[in-house]
Structure 1
């Protein structure tokens, strides 16, 4: 076997070395796909909200919560949409409303609906895509089986409205709010997105449940106004509840 010339060995060695010592490709930050996260921070007059924890209403009643669900749709700004629909359920995740692909810089302001517009509200929820939050298996108890349409907000718990306030007078309350006329839109400006990592930025929305009962213009007295399933005779209470709910949200 003939000897391989030295210069060829040197060429082969250089090629082999260079092929096996390539530096990893550095990704330009502009090439990263940005993601966004929207959180809900529920509290009661500034105190973090937890289920089955006692709080006090403006009348001095003892109150505790056992369910907090709501639907938000069409989160958008200046013709751009961050998400079409999202369902918040405290029992599933105490903070997360929505997370996905989105450029936070497009949303220094936003508008969003509490509830579902009249067109979508009366569509068949089982005909939606399986990954749609409004799909019947995903929305779960947030859709009325007996009444076409979604429940926009669901708040349940117990309250002691007795004079003694010793816990013996605890009775249930439930607000299941939702029909076409109760769709509400709110907006915020000057959003403060926080950096989680190089790709993910998040926004926190505070929800003060105290303000649902002690409203800016109208109060809800849980002693006499403890139930609404948005039946015809409960519309006035449902309107007061949803209006107070919107006012209870802040940055």
Structure 2
């Protein structure tokens, strides 16, 4: 895949009259790994929700994987979402199910109803799930109940689900929030390699500024719903970091 994966033009979103995003222009190309950084409440999660098609902006245009979201009917939007891998802050895992079933949810866009239901009785593609979990460091948890895992392990299950899905675009909202620094760096490396080797794109929000600079191609600083800077990682320095977070204190 080549070309533009995400394009936002003059996008604005408000909650109860309070601006969350204001006049956002953003383009993400195939093969790019783009980090969103900024203080809590800056609008990073809102921007990802707009790109996922789960939140309609109050103004502006959104195009994802060549599709203008405002023109899609429900069926077309479902088809598009099968090509988008999501890692949410809340993970959206089913705790009472075994890990393999949550990982296999990445197949649901390709499986028919019979395949999905039968896999709950006798899990399908065990080797695929085991390999994905192995890449995140928890292959031994394949048959464990998901709600018996730690928060960090559950976050890695959500990542394995995306690896199995093999999407064209990954939207990740704080995917390393529950991980220690070493494991968080490893997970980000894996995410970045997964999209880069397939000429696909990653758009990820991170609280760890240094991790964003180290692992991503571009870093976008967001403050109070506006883009403060959008630079290649090599051009992002401590001055930009300090300006981004200092504004939040004024």
User: Bigger radius of gyration, 1 or 2?
Assistant: 1
**Smaller-chain TM-score bracket:** under 0.3
State TM-score, norm by structure 2.
0.24
| Structure number having the greater helix percentage | 2
Of Structure 1 and Structure 2, which has the larger fraction of its residues in strand?
A: 1
